[in-house]
Amino acid sequence: MKIFITAKGTDLNSKVDPRFGRADYYVIYDTETGEYTAGENPHKKGQMAVGISFAQIAIENGAKVAISGNFGPNAFEVLRAAGISMFRAKPEQSIKEAVKSFMKGELEEFKESTPREVAEKLEKELK
Amino acid sequence: MKIAVASGKGGTGKTTFSVLFARAIAPALYVDADVEEPNGGIFLKPEIVHEQDFAEPVPKIIPEKCTYCGECARACPYKAIVIIPPPAKKDLFFPELCHSCGVCAFVCPEKGALIEVPKKKGVVRVGKTQDLDFMEGILNIGEPSAVPLIRELKRKIKDYPGDVVIDAPPGTSCPVVEATEDADFVILVAEPTPFGVHDLSLVVEMIEQLSLPHAIVVNKAQEGNFIVEEYAEKKGIEVLYRIPFSEELARMYSKGNLPFDDFREGLKSLYERIKERVG
């Protein structure tokens, strides 16, 4: 099974990026082989529809699970329609730690998207 | 003659000036093209005689005919459509991102799989107050672009036989260009602050690109403050009028009233000056 994780860097020791649409990078981890691929988020600086566009990378790569800190309303809708379950990484977790937590069933599943106020506050803090 | 009123900066008194001016030169038509927040009607208090929906086409996917190939989603420049390929076979549409450009319907390879249906995006209201005709566009909240509704207003006023005052949106972006580009003359309302002059210079740049004759009106003018005039002289732009700063006017404004009679004569002669310049 492939897990799509928003990342601050391109290896398993990088921290999870707490933003979905405007994350710096993504890592796709395959739980069967233990292998992973990574890439830069090409939509990071886009003006609109960044969450929608970024979610499609997860879909195109056949991910079944997405891990991030937050999911905006549009990204949430797209991922849910594609049957991808969304989970919240714990604060400051690395990709490796987040995957381990997920496998142990320790991560909270998103039942709804992150409210806009929370997302805006996060964006300010990261700046 | 079509006279557009623009400002660059918001809150300089575009609408205050526009309604005072339209009232003064009536019989005429006042058009509120600041469709995201039209407020000229608050002061003119027209009797609305006609209201018409403004709609534009948006895509609708017919699941029985769609093959979920994703051509429409890939072509959409605004990412308003998401197609989730088989086996999930789902389509998502984000109306707040759609600009009604029609490219989705154009590229769809399956006949009848993606049709365009009208979606209401706002209204156009037409009315009258004494000898002044009134028109305003009201865009629905959340619509991405004001331009199509402004274009619709312009279609409607094209054959108006008398003078038209177009109250343009603030800023210098597409809606302002749309509201001003066909005008015979543009009045730029500016306030005498460094910020005001800065934003005035931006809209002057825009008007110069459009090659439209223009002049400045100073609002909230204060004794001894000529910051706008100094800029205007440097640029060779005529300053037509000064509306003095007045607490009394602000107080009236806050209640939806304006001292129309006080400005009638002054603004009538301003109109004559514009007529001279347009020729």
pLDDT at A126 over 80: no
At B126-148, the pLDDT tens digits run: 999 999 999 999 999 988 889 99
Instruction: Tell me B95's DSSP state.
Output: G
The residue among A50, A61, A64, A78 with the most chain B CBs within 10 A of its CB, best to mutate, is A78
Q: Is the pLDDT of residue B238 over 90?
A: yes
Read off the pLDDT of each residue in B2-9 and give the average, rounded to a whole number. 95
Structural domains of chain B ordered from first start: 2-55+122-278 (3.40.50.300), 63-112 (3.30.70.20)
Helix ranges (DSSP H) in A2-115:
50-60, 73-81, 95-103
What pLDDT does B144 receive?
Answer: 85
pLDDT (0 to 100) of residue A40: 97
CB atoms under 10 Å from CB of A112, counted, come to 10
- Alpha carbons B90 and B172: distance in angstroms, whole number: 40
- A57 Cα to chain B: minimum distance (Å): 12
Residue B86's pLDDT band, with cuts at 50, 70 and 90, is confident
The mean pLDDT value of chain A amounts to 92
pLDDT at A127: 66
Residue of chain A nearest B91, judged by CA positions: A81
Structural domain including A120 reads: 2-126
Give CA separation, B194 vs A37, B61, B205, B222, B226, in Å. 52, 52, 17, 14, 11
**pLDDT 10s digits, B181-226:** 999 999 999 999 999 999 999 999 999 999 999 999 999 999 999 9
Q: pLDDT by residue (tens digit) across B151-183?
A: 999 999 999 999 999 999 999 999 999 999 999
Least CB-CB distance to B78: which of A49, A56, A77? A49
Cβ proximity of B222 and B38 under 8 Å: no
Q: What is the CATH number of the domain that holds A81?
A: 3.30.420.130
Q: How many domains does chain A have?
A: 1
Is this prediction's ipTM beyond 0.90? no
Give mean pLDDT, residues A68-74. 93
